[in-house]
Structure 1
Amino acid sequence: MSTAIADRAPKIAVFGLLGSGNLGNHGSLDAMLWFLRRDHPEAEISCVCSGPETLERQYGVPSVAMTWFQQHGPGRSRLTTILLKMFGKVADLVRMPLLLRRYDLIIVPGMGVLETTLELNPWGFPYALFLMCLSARIAGARVAFVSVGANVARERSIRYLFTNAMRMATYRSYRDSYSRDAMRQMGLDTSKDAVYPDLAFALPEPKEPEEPESRDPRRTIALGVMEYHGTSADRGRSTEIYRQYVGKIIDFARRVVDEGYRIRLVTGDPADEAVVSAVVDDLRQTRPDLVDAQVVREPAESLGELMEQLAGVDLVVASRYHNVQSALKLSKPTISISYGVKSDILMEGMRLAEFRQPIRDLDVDRLMDQLHALEARAGGLESAMREKNAEYGEQLERQFAVLSDRFFAGRTAPRGSDQ
């Protein structure tokens, strides 16, 4: 049976942890909406997500909560909250198929939807993802996982939910070979699955700032931080892991301003503001004469705003995956403080493997050495990064053509038309 949508306005739902403030997830959404609006402006687009009110306000796209509990909870006490969650799991068995029967296609755009690199409850998003795929099959809708990230899940329950969700999908692609291999190792037949770059590499670059970040000769470093507590296996040590990471980031920030660099603090999630505050508060106490002139703190509300901020800096040192990805997209010389293999793969693809460190073993002395080496080689690195970005863009255009052929009967709006 053909998987192309009939000759009418297709009804599409974009599914994921969207509307919660995570800039990386929103960047994947931005790229998918850009493709759909450019090539298929007739499509009726909605979102099934974790933060529907926020998403509707920011994007103007009709949105609905992915779970009953998100729509109706939490309760006024811990007990009522638990009871509502339990009821919600049962209610979603009926609610989700009824919700998805109105759609032709459900798209999961990019994001690390199959990863366990951070703390993850199997009966949270993994269960919602599995139930979505099962409900789509019941409702007769098709599911496309587009350039998603994955790693081998150690918990049996999460592994079961992820692999069986993917088995029910009509289309699957991954943002790197590591993700595809991870799903194969968990028992999924990936022989027909493709690998394309992260969707955010399809986003247009922001315009270069009219004025440089600084009018003096000091170079500006974007320091991307995150609220890092380890993985689900680290729950007993999460506070200690977070404290150690923040302490090292503060140490690095002190040394950077002491050497005369300017710092632009950037984040990828609202939770990261706690780390930003810790850095700024420390510098106000320990470097009161430097902080106002050398530290910039301007939270971004979208990946586009983050990229605009990064466009004005010289070097980037970042922890979050999409902070690193955005910097590489802009051909900015970058150091990755990596919490997962996915960031290492990005750096290797840009020939920057020597400029990375694992977040768990972060060495500030080595980080300073890497910063100095990166600055010395910056000019020679940027041209090679621009070439790689052009290659990624071409690969993603090929994927968009595949999606159009498979789900839209090859119908694509003329590129020169008014959309």
Structure 2
Amino acid sequence: MTAGHEPVPTQRVGMFGKLGAGNYGNDGSLEALLAHLRSHHPAVPVDCMAAGPTVVEERYGIPAVDLSWDRGGSKSGSRLLDRGLTALRVGVGVGIDAWRIARWTRRHSVAIVPGMGTFESTMQVRPWQTPWSLFALAVSARVFGTSMAVVSVGASNPPDQLTRVLLGRALRLASHRSFRDDQSRTAASEMGVDTSHDVVLPDLAFALPTPPRPGRTSGTVGVGVIAWYGAESERAGADAINVRYRAALEDFVGRIVDAGRRVRLLVGDDIDVPIAMDLREAVLTGRPWLDVDAIVFDPVSTLGEYMSQVVELDAVVASRFHNVLCALMCGVPTIAVGYGAKHRVLMERFGVSRFSHEIRSLNVDDLDRSLDGLLAEGDRLSPQLLDVASDERQALVDRLSTVDDLISSARCRRRG
């Protein structure tokens, strides 16, 4: 070995995506797959290209670099000038990000997109954001001989043509594809991807440990809060969508406490926290006779901490996908107020599709009746939910061997 030079590892696995940015489901997916790699491939170095690299490094103990060069800028006060500066920043950013992603990718034998709704269009996302970064990753992987794996991802067929092209081509270039449900695999097929050899892999969160559920009632209902502004195609009416949703949620929480139950507010992303705080204040202000503990809110930052809160609840009503999933995993009777097909598919898998509601047409009277029915069935439902979660966990463990095979067979590369 030449003096002054460190030995270069022949194999390195990289995790890629909107990780460490405050979304508990995304980070839970990383946590689950990282635990698997450490158990099955302990000698293989792992690092990450993440939206929140500092959080990833501190929480998971792996090196991380920033996913995006563009962190936005301050407003000038001129709408026309702001638009021009934004366009310039985006134009420069996509080029810089493509170069940075390529530089990162070539250092790895395998680049993994770990779970998440990465290929979905259920939330607001611009083509030059996640879709572009995934496309850049896929092209870079093909150029440098890196194996790209998208593992147990969610997908939907986006209405925006450019987004659809970018996501579809990224999926087609991947060395390994697995989807977290059949509807995601179908959506990929609709984007022009040959999915005939792709597998359905249960959501990576099923691999996370769950706390035991106590055999007693608590008198508390969990209500999940989401910063809901509609999907990308609904951006023009985003503010009105948010106002309607927040009014309905305030009404619903008020009815729960008026019935003598306590409420624990739950979130699944850091951006939900201000919404939850405002909701709690609004309901308590309108009912000055209530004890402040009638509505509790203790923000968390991981799915494990979230599950420690929900496991003792009598029921959960939530919208964020992993809020719903992890409550079900813990055996907690759950209502999904969904914003995508993935919620319906998940609730069907657990045999509780009758407790599904649509966030866009949310009716508080219907939701209130649904909660009463759920609480009445709680004792019977909980064992059923735990059985399904156990089956999904085992299926995930069995099928993760496809990822192990990819890592084992990846061509060893040296950094140049």
Same fold (TM over 0.5): yes
Q: What is residue 67 of structure 1 aligned with on the other side?
A: 68
Worse overlay, 332-341 or 279-288: 279-288
Q: What is residue 171 of structure 1 aligned with on the other side?
A: 176
Q: What is residue 111 of structure 1 aligned with on the other side?
A: 116
- Separation of aligned partners in 1, 2:306 and 2:343: 18
Contact 1:263 1:294 (C-alpha < 8 Å) held by counterparts? yes
- Separation of aligned partners in 1, 2:299 and 2:146: 38
Residues 39-54 of structure 1 correspond to what in structure 2 (within 5 A)? 39-54=40-55
Q: What is residue 100 of structure 1 aligned with on the other side?
A: 105
Q: Which runs of 5+ in 1 are unaligned?
A: 1-7, 411-419
Q: What is residue 136 of structure 2 aligned with on the other side?
A: 131
- Separation of aligned partners in 1, 2:286 and 2:74: 43
Q: Does 1:32 align with 2:37?
A: no
Question: What SS does the corresponding residue of 1:173 show, helix, strand or coil?
Answer: strand
- Separation of aligned partners in 1, 2:133 and 2:74: 20
Q: What is residue 237 of structure 1 aligned with on the other side?
A: 237
Q: Does 1:12 align with 2:13?
A: yes
The Cα of 1:207 is off from its aligned counterpart by 5.1
Which amino acid letter does the alignment assign opposite residue 266 of structure 1? L
Residues 320-399 of structure 1 correspond to what in structure 2 (within 5 A)? 320-399=320-399
The Cα of 1:286 is off from its aligned counterpart by 1.4
Percent identity over paired residues: 38
Residues 167-246 of structure 1 correspond to what in structure 2 (within 5 A)? 167-206=172-211, 219-246=219-246
Contact 1:221 1:261 (C-alpha < 8 Å) held by counterparts? yes
Which amino acid letter does the alignment assign opposite residue 195 of structure 2? T
The Cα of 1:219 is off from its aligned counterpart by 1.3
The Cα of 1:61 is off from its aligned counterpart by 1.4
Q: What is residue 155 of structure 1 aligned with on the other side?
A: 160
The Cα of 1:231 is off from its aligned counterpart by 1.1
Question: What SS does the corresponding residue of 1:347 show, helix, strand or coil?
Answer: helix
The Cα of 1:310 is off from its aligned counterpart by 0.9
Q: What is residue 415 of structure 1 aligned with on the other side?
A: none
- Separation of aligned partners in 2, 1:248 and 1:329: 27
- Separation of aligned partners in 2, 1:88 and 1:249: 38
The Cα of 1:52 is off from its aligned counterpart by 1.1
User: Following TM superposition, where does structure 1 have runs of at least 4 consecutive aligned residues deviating by more than 6 angstroms?
Assistant: none
Q: What is residue 289 of structure 1 aligned with on the other side?
A: 289
Worse overlay, 390-399 or 243-252: 390-399
- Separation of aligned partners in 2, 1:389 and 1:341: 20
Worse overlay, 137-146 or 60-69: 60-69
Q: Which runs of 5+ in 2 are unaligned?
A: 1-8, 77-81, 411-416
- Separation of aligned partners in 2, 1:254 and 1:173: 42
The Cα of 1:80 is off from its aligned counterpart by 5.2
Structure 1 131/75 Cα, relative in aligned 2: closer, same or farther at 3 Å?
A: farther
Structure 1 51/147 Cα, relative in aligned 2: closer, same or farther at 3 Å?
A: same
Question: What SS does the corresponding residue of 2:400 show, helix, strand or coil?
Answer: helix
Which amino acid letter does the alignment assign opposite residue 112 of structure 2? I
The Cα of 1:91 is off from its aligned counterpart by 2.5
Which amino acid letter does the alignment assign opposite residue 107 of structure 1? I
- Separation of aligned partners in 2, 1:372 and 1:284: 22
The Cα of 1:403 is off from its aligned counterpart by 1.6
Query: Residue deviations 1:136-187, cap 9 Å, x none?
Result: 1112211010000011111110111011001111100000000000111121
- Separation of aligned partners in 2, 1:280 and 1:157: 40
Contact 2:210 2:307 (C-alpha < 8 Å) held by counterparts? yes
Contact 2:90 2:128 (C-alpha < 8 Å) held by counterparts? no
Normalising by structure 1, what TM-score?
0.90
Q: CA RMSD in A?
A: 1.9
The Cα of 1:275 is off from its aligned counterpart by 1.9
Query: Residue deviations 1:104-157, cap 9 Å, x none?
Result: 100101100111111110111100110011011112211010000011111110
